[in-house]
Structure 1
């Protein structure tokens, strides 16, 4: 599945030298290193044709070469080159069988590959083999043809069936991954380590007696990407995503709210792997000592029971929560086994703002005088939502100019400067409140990340 394109000059020079001396072992290693560095699977196959199996005698280089071929979709070449009983050969065979429509044989080959090497496990491909669609690329392609089917079940009265006791919304927007979220590299790295890798490599984690699932609480100023991160996390791990709003849980009748919350978790357990996302979690998980009604305290207790109750099995169920006021969330949620990690999602730094602006400007008519570096310098403290508002306001200025002139006017730097005069960062009020809590109510160092951010930003 490699494309016809000229090799990189370094790769081409090494291949020319290899044609003259195909038995030169050090040169063979240099060729493999160059092919992997420049992601050139076609050149690697040319080198293999010149040298034969001797090219891949070194185990480390063989593993790197096979990964390169797998990324390039060269499964037939892998099946031919790799050792017949190796995990790589079995995985390649599984993909070839699946492409031929022989699903049962493909499943058997896939199981053999994972049994031989759990690290080669591919959750997206496994879901395709079982008939479930979780491929991010496939989901996006399907969205191009039309929106994903959403499911919204309304609650009619107190006599609704068990399935109808939950009203959940599966977002119909395009499935997204971390590449669609600008910045936040440290938070992404932590989520990948704690959440996505256990979902994608369950067999490997089982060998270390580590279970997937658990909870992560995201907090920070509004508009900095907490909800976006939750959607991207579900997209990256190919899990079913339940976006739970307050109205899906709260009910005027006694006991109904607790029952709905229980059914949300039960539904997630039945459809695992799954991600449950609670936005504004303080509304149903606020501090019990501040609750005005006993029913609010009961809701928190029910929530805690669902997270790690005696009879609950939340393996392969991930719970994500987001809040702007972490000091209002009941401290019992922070115990390990509930929300294992509490992650600060800060306003984007300069590098992140540059990435976000690139994503926001991509696909719009933009003039050549746009100076992204100047915009970055002038938007310190702006959240991702503020940056979107800035670009949208500049686009409005360009649209107005287009209407006035009768021809399309690109977004120019003058439009951005006009927008900068109108837009103010919305994170400053939150950071002021967070600074006070971090200085005077920082029990156990839970807001140390906020203090570090404030010190770094001055």
Structure 2
């Protein structure tokens, strides 16, 4: 609705301020236009009884408008109490006003009436859970002193919280993998009350495997970002220790910290370093560490509810078979090289905000990069940037990157996934117990790799 029409409605209401249909129409138009100031003027013209007679859906819209404009007291006043959505809005407004106890009551009432309204961020705020990263920042560059005790400050250092928040929007392609993660992992974290009603637990273990550079680590960070959970990137080299029993103690301390910080995501990259097949090792200490890891995943003596363990590996055939038992890493996801649509998406992201000139044919580049991982595509763009920088130095002025630079780089850069796919093909054909590598076979068949 145009401004002149809103002006006409306001003039009509000035003459008949308690005309409920006219007031409803005008306020609906203000809500659609985001005109909070005018909506308040129109409400001020009407009697309290007329305001109370407004439709509940419209009252909810006006409360949202007030909340967006950081008028929390008015949002609280205008939020309807007979709707779960209105009580959720009241909880948000009360939290902003510092009235935490009342906010908790409203939030619990809203979720009890409609479990789908559960909001992990509001729940975290109400719980007052704060993770201090000062110790991690101060000690980030230090290493473990041999044979020292695993104290709390060391655990904070070992669990390196990732300050950069990521979501699935930051992950190019992999739509099928993201959909699977969202359905099986993220929703139980976001709506725990709904899942509790069905006795479906949130948490567990997910193992991602695939060629290097295809986005497994980014997917782990994005999963944590979508869940609204704390993300802890466990440094494998800091868990391993040369002294007997220290590796197991550190691993146990890592899990204990995650349980205290739940909901939390523990991410182990290159997980085969602490979860390798026990029959292939001659060292008893390695077997003990694997057994400790399995015990922590089981949560036999502790509660792992709300703790999600993500593992990533390039060599899934090197992982001890016991990790695949349901309740441990019971969900195994293949993260393949990006397809053409995903490569286009990744290339657009990599080229964004770069100085370019002329037309960059992203579709043509994507067609010419079959088998490239995300890391390979980054290397391609950076090689083209090197060409443009060299040309700039020779010209004495900035020379933007062009399609010609990218074609030159494409002639030199080769995909790094070929060797992995060849090895994986052999395992998928001859060691595919229980169909664990069926996804690899399907990918190879679809993309014509013999």
Q: TM-score, normalised by structure 1?
A: 0.80
Residue 279 of structure 2 corresponds to residue 282 of structure 1? no
User: Using the alignment, how far apart are the partners of 1:64 and 1:431 within structure 2?
Assistant: 54
Over residues 120-155 of structure 1, what are the superposed CA-to-partner deviations in whole Å (9 max), with x where a residue is unaligned?
111112323444469xxxxxxxxxxxxx95763742
The equivalent of 2:104 in structure 1 is 107
> How far 1:66 moved relative to its partner?
9.8
The equivalent of 2:350 in structure 1 is 360
How has the CA–CA distance of structure 1 residues 352 and 335 changed in structure 2, closer, same or farther, with 3 Å as cutoff?
A: same
Residue 302 of structure 2 corresponds to residue 312 of structure 1? yes
The equivalent of 2:151 in structure 1 is 162
The equivalent of 1:144 in structure 2 is none
Residue 124 of structure 2 corresponds to residue 127 of structure 1? yes
**Is this contact kept in 1: 2:203–2:308, CA < 8 A?**
yes
The equivalent of 2:17 in structure 1 is none
Residue 311 of structure 2 corresponds to residue 321 of structure 1? yes
**Is this contact kept in 2: 1:347–1:383, CA < 8 A?**
yes
The equivalent of 1:117 in structure 2 is 114
**Is this contact kept in 2: 1:217–1:343, CA < 8 A?**
yes
User: Using the alignment, how far apart are the partners of 1:448 and 1:431 within structure 2?
Assistant: 13
User: Using the alignment, how far apart are the partners of 2:104 and 2:85 within structure 1?
Assistant: 15
* Match 1:293 to one of 258, 275, 283: 283
The equivalent of 1:209 in structure 2 is 199
The equivalent of 2:243 in structure 1 is 253
Matches within 5 A, 1:336-351: 336-351=326-341
Over residues 205-259 of structure 1, what are the superposed CA-to-partner deviations in whole Å (9 max), with x where a residue is unaligned?
1111111110000000000000111111122222222211221221112221111
How has the CA–CA distance of structure 1 residues 410 and 171 changed in structure 2, closer, same or farther, with 3 Å as cutoff?
A: farther
User: Using the alignment, how far apart are the partners of 2:62 and 2:199 within structure 1?
Assistant: 29
Q: Which has the larger radius of gyration?
A: 2
**Is this contact kept in 1: 2:160–2:235, CA < 8 A?**
no
Over residues 389-444 of structure 1, what are the superposed CA-to-partner deviations in whole Å (9 max), with x where a residue is unaligned?
11111111112222222222222101101110111000011001111111111111
Matches within 5 A, 1:227-266: 227-266=217-256
Q: Which moved more, 1:65-74 or 1:251-260?
A: 65-74
The equivalent of 1:414 in structure 2 is 404
5+ residue gaps, structure 2: 10-19, 44-50
> How far 1:385 moved relative to its partner?
0.3
The equivalent of 1:141 in structure 2 is none
The equivalent of 2:419 in structure 1 is 429
User: Using the alignment, how far apart are the partners of 2:352 and 2:143 within structure 1?
Assistant: 38
User: Using the alignment, how far apart are the partners of 1:333 and 1:269 within structure 2?
Assistant: 20
**Is this contact kept in 2: 1:41–1:72, CA < 8 A?**
no
User: Using the alignment, how far apart are the partners of 1:117 and 1:67 within structure 2?
Assistant: 19
The equivalent of 1:19 in structure 2 is none
5+ residue gaps, structure 1: 1-5, 16-21, 135-147
Q: Which moved more, 1:307-316 or 1:376-385?
A: 307-316
Structure 2 SS opposite 1:416: helix
Structure 1 SS opposite 2:158: coil
Q: Which moved more, 1:330-339 or 1:191-200?
A: 191-200
**Is this contact kept in 2: 1:151–1:170, CA < 8 A?**
no
**Is this contact kept in 1: 2:214–2:335, CA < 8 A?**
yes
Residue 375 of structure 2 corresponds to residue 370 of structure 1? no
Q: Which moved more, 1:264-273 or 1:417-426?
A: 264-273
> How far 1:90 moved relative to its partner?
1.1
The equivalent of 1:96 in structure 2 is 93
Structure 1 SS opposite 2:360: coil
Q: Alignment length, in residue pairs?
A: 424
The equivalent of 1:143 in structure 2 is none
How has the CA–CA distance of structure 1 residues 200 and 149 changed in structure 2, closer, same or farther, with 3 Å as cutoff?
A: farther
> How far 1:381 moved relative to its partner?
0.4
Q: Which moved more, 1:91-100 or 1:282-291?
A: 91-100
Matches within 5 A, 1:4-15: none
**Is this contact kept in 2: 1:78–1:89, CA < 8 A?**
no
Matches within 5 A, 1:7-26: none
> How far 1:79 moved relative to its partner?
6.1
| RMSD of aligned alpha carbons | 3.9
How has the CA–CA distance of structure 1 residues 319 and 297 changed in structure 2, closer, same or farther, with 3 Å as cutoff?
A: same
How has the CA–CA distance of structure 1 residues 64 and 92 changed in structure 2, closer, same or farther, with 3 Å as cutoff?
A: closer
User: Using the alignment, how far apart are the partners of 1:455 and 1:129 within structure 2?
Assistant: 50
**Is this contact kept in 2: 1:354–1:373, CA < 8 A?**
yes
How has the CA–CA distance of structure 1 residues 286 and 45 changed in structure 2, closer, same or farther, with 3 Å as cutoff?
A: farther
Structure 1 SS opposite 2:357: coil
> How far 1:177 moved relative to its partner?
1.3
Structure 1 SS opposite 2:311: strand
